[in-house]
Amino acid sequence: MKDVIVVIGAGQIGQALARRVSAGKRVLLADMRLGNANAAAEVLGNAGYEVSVATVDASSRDAVHALVKTAAGLGNVTGLIHAAGVSPTQASPATILKVDLYGTALVLEEFGNIIARGGAGVVIASQSGHRLPPLTVEQNKALATTPVESLLDLPFLQSDQVTDSLHAYQISKRGNSLRVMAEAVRWGKRGARLNTISPGIIITPLAKDELTGPRGAGYRRMIEGCPAGRAGTPDEVATVGALLMGPDGGFITGSDFLMDGGVTAAYWYGGLAEVPAQPSE
């Protein structure tokens, strides 16, 4: 059986990363919507990749466990690309916490049980997690290590504490990077590695919608005011992902890679200090 790369989230970033790391391997492409998975699978298939598709609700343990069983049935799971999630413009605070925070912890737990020796995973988080004010040491540890099924019961995640979607998104993405640190220890016992990428504004269909929507002015100012002076592309995220999942990244695990064109630097120490944090997609 071939090695298997599991991609959760059939968007542009997930596809770009899959193209970089899946040559000669089997790709299992999973998305909440089968139509999205099929469309991405057709593109990858036409480019010479061997692709299977599945549907998955990343916030459902039964659904994620079923995906794990499907993946394991195809071969040795040597790669996980978790690129699914919802943004502040798409969902309520409760939904964002359930999908982006709980769902990511769930995926890492389930796939951490079967990841093959020498395997690697990448979670796509966001620059937004880097613009959340510092949490306490206790809150950091809670986000990193609380058992998955108790995660959403944490006092500082309740509706009276997280009252808007942007805050929910920021704390979810901060939580992703913290969870990856803790899970990297567990994955390491299986001889596997795990890291996070926190992209800035990456040009995808959703980002284009955001640029012309009610938050568009903030997006454009972030792009214009950052040191790079432009948005990023999915292929640039995939370049970092390929490093983290490949042999050249063999000494990198439990790390978070911020790649936002310097937006966060300008937010804290430059001319973007008053611009609210925005999601990457």
Q: Which of 52-61, 202-211, 243-252 has the lowest mean pLDDT?
A: 202-211
Q: Is residue 210 part of a domain?
A: yes
Residue 228 has what pLDDT? 97
Q: Which of 49, 102, 173, 267 is catalytic?
A: 173
Q: Is residue 276 part of a domain?
A: no
Residue 181 has what pLDDT? 98
Counting the structural domains of the chain, the total is 1
Q: Is residue 278 part of a domain?
A: no
Burial 56-69 (b: 16+ CB within 10 A, else e): bbbbeeebbebbbe
Residue 281 has what pLDDT? 47
Q: Is residue 35 part of a domain?
A: yes
CATH code where residue 252 lies: 3.40.50.720
Q: Is 219 a catalytic residue?
A: no
pLDDT tens digit sequence for 109-165? 999 999 999 999 999 999 999 999 999 999 999 999 999 999 999 999 999 999 999
pLDDT tens digit sequence for 199-217? 999 998 878 877 887 778 8
Q: Is residue 273 part of a domain?
A: no
Q: Is residue 158 part of a domain?
A: yes
Q: Distance (Å, rounded) from C-alpha 267 to C-alpha 156?
A: 25
Averaged pLDDT for residues 93-98: 97
* pLDDT exceeds 80 at position 1: no
Token pair of 3, please?
């090695």
Q: Which of 102, 169, 219, 267 is catalytic?
A: 169
Range of the domain at 120: 3-261
The strand pair at 50-55 and 76-82 is best described as unpaired
Q: Is 49 a catalytic residue?
A: no
- Could you tell me if 166 and 276 are in contact, meaning their C-beta atoms sit under 8 angstroms apart? yes
* pLDDT exceeds 80 at position 243: yes
Q: Is residue 228 part of a domain?
A: yes
Q: What are phi and psi of 41, to 5 degrees?
A: -65, -35
To the nearest whole percent, how much of the chain has pLDDT over 70? 97
Q: Is residue 269 part of a domain?
A: no
